[in-house]
C-alpha cells in the first residue's frame, strides 16, 4: 500500500503532497499537505524494521499530552507501521525568551514524580531499547537498565571496544561512589537535543521524539549540556526553578553523560567510544 493510500484509509482523504523531512532512526518522515485539512506529519516504518518503535513513540506522545503540560504534537493515528500527528509550525532558530520557556516547561515536567524509577512500560531512545522496570534505588536502575544494557549492545555490535566495555563493567560496580539517591524520581523527556525541540518566536512550539521515564532529572540537564541544546538563558532560568544538587558539576554530570555517549557510540561509532573511555579513565 502506498503512503497516500494508507493515509486515506485513516483520514478519508489522500494528501496532495508528501514532502520528506529530516527524520529519526526508526522511520521515514514526511509533511503531508491536504486540500481540506491542516497538514500532518507521517512517520512510516522502514520495510525491514523490527516494528513497535512508532507505536511506542505514539504512546509516549499521548502520555505527555494527557499527563503533563509539555507541548507535543497531537497524534491522529498510532500503529507500528504508521504514526500520524499534527504538523507544528515553527521557526529556524531559538530566542532567549524561547529558552526561558523551555526551562520552565522542563522544570515543570521534572516536578512530576513517581514512587520509583522507571516507567509503566519499556520505551525506546531512537531505535534502541530502553528497559524501565520499576526500581526503588536510582543507582541500581541507572546501572542495570541504562549503562549495562546499552554498553552490552554497543559491545556486541563491535562499536564499543572490549577493553572499554570491561572498564565500564568495573566502573558500574562502584557506581554508588559517584551518584546519589535523588529526592524523588522526576519525569524526563529523555532525548532533548536541538532536533527534538521546535521553536516559536518566543516559546517552544513542541518537544518531539520523547524517550520518557522517571529518573533523576539531572540526567536531562547533563544531556542538554553535552549536546549544547540550549544556551545560558535556559540554564540560568532552570537553576532558578530547580537548583542542582551539590556534586553535579564535580562528577554526576560526566557519569550521567555515559548513557547518551554509549547510545551515540552504538549509532555513530569511534569518536563517542573514545569519549566513554575518557570518562571512565577520569573516574578510575
Q: Annotated catalytic sites, by residue?
A: 191
Taking each helix axis from N to C end, the angle separating 162-173 and 148-156, rounded to the nearest 10 degrees, works out to 170
Question: Cell triple for residue 12?
Answer: 478519508
**What is the spatial distance between Cα 85 and Cα 71, in angstroms, rounded to a whole number?**
13
Sheet containing 17-21: give its strands across: 17-21, 27-33, 40-45, 82-86, 75-78
**What is the spatial distance between Cα 179 and Cα 167, in angstroms, rounded to a whole number?**
17
Question: Cell triple for residue 277?
Answer: 573511555
Question: Cell triple for residue 61?
Answer: 506522545
Of 78, 58, 56, 266, the closest CA to residue 161 belongs to 266
**What is the spatial distance between Cα 240 and Cα 235, in angstroms, rounded to a whole number?**
9
Is residue 77 a contact partner of residue 10, using CB atoms and an 8 Å limit?
A: yes
List alpha helices for 177-227, DSSP H: 218-227
Q: Strands 82-86 and 40-45, how do they pair?
A: antiparallel
Burial 1-14 (b: 16+ CB within 10 A, else e): eebbebbeeebeeb
Compute CA distances 79 → 26, 53, 59, 128, 158, whole Å.
13, 9, 10, 18, 32
Amino acid at each position: 500500500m502506498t503512503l497516500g493510500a494508507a493515509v486515506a484509509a485513516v483520514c478519508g482523504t489522500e494528501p496532495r503532497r508528501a514532502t520528506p523531512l529530516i527524520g529519526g532512526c526508526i522511520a521515514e518522515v514526511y509533511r503531508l499537505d491536504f486540500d481540506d485539512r491542516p497538514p500532518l506529519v507521517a512517520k512510516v516504518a522502514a520495510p525491514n524494521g523490527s516494528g513497535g518503535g512508532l507505536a511506542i513513540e505514539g504512546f509516549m506522545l499521548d502520555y505527555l499530552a494527557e499527563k503533563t503540560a509539555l507541548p507535543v504534537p497531537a497524534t491522529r493515528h498510532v500503529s507500528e507501521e504508521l504514526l500520524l500527528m499534527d504538523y507544528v509550525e515553527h521557526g529556524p532558530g531559538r530566542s532567549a525568551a524561547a529558552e526561558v520557556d523551555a526551562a520552565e516547561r522542563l522544570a515543570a515536567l521534572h516536578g512530576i514524580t513517581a514512587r520509583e524509577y522507571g516507567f509503566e512500560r519499556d520505551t525506546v531512545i531512537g531505535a534502541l531499547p530502553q528497559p524501565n522496570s520499576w526500581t526503588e534505588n536510582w543507582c541500581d536502575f541507572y546501572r542495570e537498565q541504562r549503562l549495562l544494557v546499552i554498553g552490552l549492545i554497543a559491545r556486541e555490535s563491535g562499536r564499543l571496544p572490549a577493553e572499554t566495555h570491561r572498564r565500564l563493567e568495573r566502573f558500574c560496580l562502584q557506581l554508588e561512589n559517584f551518584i546519589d539517591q535523588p529526592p524523588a524520581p522526576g519525569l524526563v523527556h529523555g532525548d532533548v537535543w536541538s532536533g527534538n525541540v521546535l521553536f516559536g518566536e518566543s516559546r517552544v512550539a513542541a518537544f518531539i521524539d520523547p524517550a520518557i521515564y522517571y529518573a533523576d532529572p539531572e540526567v536531562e540537564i547533563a544531556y542538554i549540556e553535552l549536546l549544547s541544546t540550549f544556551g545560558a538563558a535556559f540554564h540560568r532560568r532552570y537553576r532558578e526553578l530547580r537548583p542542582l544538587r551539590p556534586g553535579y558539576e564535580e562528577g554526576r554530570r560526566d557519569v550521567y553523560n555515559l548513557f547518551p555517549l554509549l547510545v551515540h557510540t552504538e549509532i555513530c561509532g569511534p569518536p563517542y567510544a573514545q569519549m566513554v573511555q575518557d570518562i571512565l579513565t577520569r573516574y578510575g
